[in-house]
C-alpha cells in the first residue's frame, strides 16, 4: 500500500493591490501572495473526504480581506498575519508557508497636490517567505531581479587550465549580474521596509566598490557588507548569474575593438556562470535552504 508523503496545498499567486489614501496623497502596495498549508490531510487524499479542507478559494479571499482590514505594512508583516491566522484558526492545519513577491511603484511627479500616479519600477522584485508551525516563526526577506553592471574594475585571471580551456585571461572586463538575495533576521519584527532599503544599499555599494578578481569575490564582499553593517542580519544567501559580455570580433571589418578604448560587446543570454553562496555571521547557523535563491 503506497504511503502519502509530504503534502501541502494552497492558493498560489493571489495578486493583491492595496491603495491607502492620505488626503490627495495615495500609497500603493502591490503583492503576489502564495499560501501553502499542511497538516492533517490524510483523509482528503485517501477517502476523498473534504471535512478537513479549507478551500483554496477561501485562502484567496482571506488575503483580500486581510489587506482591507489590516492593510499591508510590509510583506513580512502581512505574511506573518496570514500564517498565524491559518494555523491558529484551523484545527487541521499545523503549518503555513507564505511566499510573497512585492512589485515596486515609483511616483510620477505631478504638478499640484495630487499624488496618485505611479510607474512600475523596473524588473526588481522584493520577496518574503514566512513559515509558522504553531510555535516557531521563520521569516526570510529578499529581492530578485536587481540588475547591475560594472564596465571596468573586474578581471578574471590565473584560473585552472586543462585541455578544454579556451577562455582568455581578462584584465579588464564587464561584470554584470541579476542579484537574487535572501536574508534572515536574527531578531523578530524590525522596521522591515527600512531594513530592506539598507540591505539593498549595501549590496549595491559593495558591488560598485569592489575591485573584482572574480564574481565569487564580489559575492562574498556583497554578503559581508550586509553582515557587517546590519547587526540584525545573521545570514544572507546570494545567487549571481554571470551575465557574460564578450568583445565582438570586428577585425573582419578592419576595426579594432579593445576594452581600453571603450568597446562593443555581445551580451550573451545563455549559458551563464551561476555563482552562489551563503555568508554568515560568525557562529550563526545556516538556515536558508540552498535552493531558495536558485532560478
Ligand X SMILES: O=c1[nH]c(=O)c2[nH]c(=O)[nH]c2[nH]1
> Which letter does DSSP use for residue 113 in this model?
S
Strand ranges, E, within the chain: 14-22, 25-39, 93-107, 118-132, 137-150, 175-185, 233-242, 245-247, 265-267, 273-280
Catalytic annotation, pick one of 60, 196, 202, 244: 244
156 part of the interface to ligand X, by CB under 6 A: yes
51 part of the interface to ligand X, by CB under 6 A: no
CB of 212 to ligand X, least distance (A): 7
279 part of the interface to ligand X, by CB under 6 A: no
Rama region for 262: left / alpha / beta (φ>0; ψ in -120 to 50; rest): left
Between CA 226 and CA 65 the distance in angstroms is: 35
Write out 197-211 in H/E/C secondary structure: HHHHHHHHHHHHHCC
Q: Please indicate whether residue 56 is annotated as part of the active site.
A: yes
CB of 169 to ligand X, least distance (A): 10
Q: Please indicate whether residue 259 is annotated as part of the active site.
A: no
Answer for which of 273, 276, 281, 292 binds ligand X (CB under 6 A) is 273
Residue closer to ligand X, measured from CB, 32 or 217: 217
Site string for ligand X, 202-241 (x = CB under 6 A): ------------xxx-------------------------
Helix, strand, or coil (residue 136): coil
148 part of the interface to ligand X, by CB under 6 A: no
Residue closer to ligand X, measured from CB, 62 or 177: 177
User: Cα 202–205–207 angle (5° rounding)?
Assistant: 105
Site string for ligand X, 6-45 (x = CB under 6 A): ----------------------------------------
Q: Please indicate whether residue 45 is annotated as part of the active site.
A: no
Between CA 151 and CA 107 the distance in angstroms is: 30
CB of 81 to ligand X, least distance (A): 41
CA distances from 96 to 90, 93, 121, 217, 245 (A): 11, 8, 30, 37, 42
* Grid coordinates of 62: 482571506
CB of 216 to ligand X, least distance (A): 6
Tell me the CA end-to-end span of the chain in Å, nearest whole number: 36
Residue closer to ligand X, measured from CB, 146 or 219: 219
CB of 158 to ligand X, least distance (A): 11
Question: Which sequence positions are flagged as catalytic?
Answer: 11, 56, 244
Contact residues for ligand X (CB under 6 A)?
156, 167, 214-216, 242, 273
Amino acid at each position: 500500500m503506497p504511503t502519502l508523503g509530504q503534502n501541502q496545498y494552497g492558493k498560489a499567486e493571489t495578486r493583491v493591490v492595496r491603495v491607502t489614501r492620505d488626503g490627495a496623497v495615495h500609497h500603493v502596495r502591490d503583492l503576489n501572495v502564495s499560501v501553502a498549508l499542511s497538516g492533517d490531510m490524510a483523509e482528503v487524499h485517501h477517502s476523498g473526504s473534504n471535512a478537513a479542507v479549507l478551500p483554496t478559494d477561501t485562502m484567496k479571499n482571506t488575503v483580500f480581506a486581510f489587506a482591507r482590514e489590516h492593510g499591508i505594512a510590509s510583506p513580512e508583516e502581512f505574511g506573518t498575519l496570514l500564517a498565524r491566522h491559518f494555523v491558529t484558526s484551523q484545527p487541521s492545519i499545523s503549518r503555513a508557508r507564505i511566499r510573497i513577491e512585492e512589485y515596486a511603484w515609483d511616483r510620477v511627479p505631478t504638478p499640484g497636490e495630487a499624488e496618485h500616479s505611479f510607474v512600475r519600477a523596473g524588473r526588481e522584485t522584493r520577496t518574503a517567505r514566512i513559515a509558522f508551525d504553531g510555535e516557531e516563526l521563520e521569516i526570510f526577506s529578499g529581492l530578485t531581479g536587481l540588475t547591475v553592471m560594472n564596465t571596468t574594475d573586474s578581471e578574471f585571471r590565473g584560473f585552472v587550465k586543462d585541455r578544454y580551456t579556451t577562455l582568455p585571461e581578462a584584465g579588464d572586463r564587464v561584470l554584470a549580474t541579476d542579484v537574487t538575495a535572501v536574508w534572515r533576521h536574527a531578531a523578530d519584527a524590525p522596521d522591515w521596509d527600512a531594513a530592506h532599503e539598507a540591505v539593498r544599499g549595501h549590496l549595491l555599494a559593495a558591488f560598485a566598490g569592489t575591485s573584482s578578481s572574480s564574481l565569487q569575490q564580489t559575492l562574498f564582499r556583497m554578503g559581508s557588507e550586509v553582515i557587517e553593517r546590519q547587526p540584525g542580519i545573521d545570514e544572507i544567501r546570494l545567487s549571481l548569474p554571470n551575465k557574460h559580455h564578450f568583445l565582438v570580433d570586428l577585425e573582419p571589418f578592419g576595426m579594432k575593438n579593445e576594452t581600453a578604448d571603450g568597446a562593443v560587446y555581445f551580451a550573451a543570454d545563455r549559458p551563464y556562470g551561476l555563482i552562489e553562496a551563503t555568508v554568515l555571521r560568525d557562529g550563526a547557523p545556516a538556515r536558508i535552504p540552498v535552493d531558495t535563491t536558485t532560478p
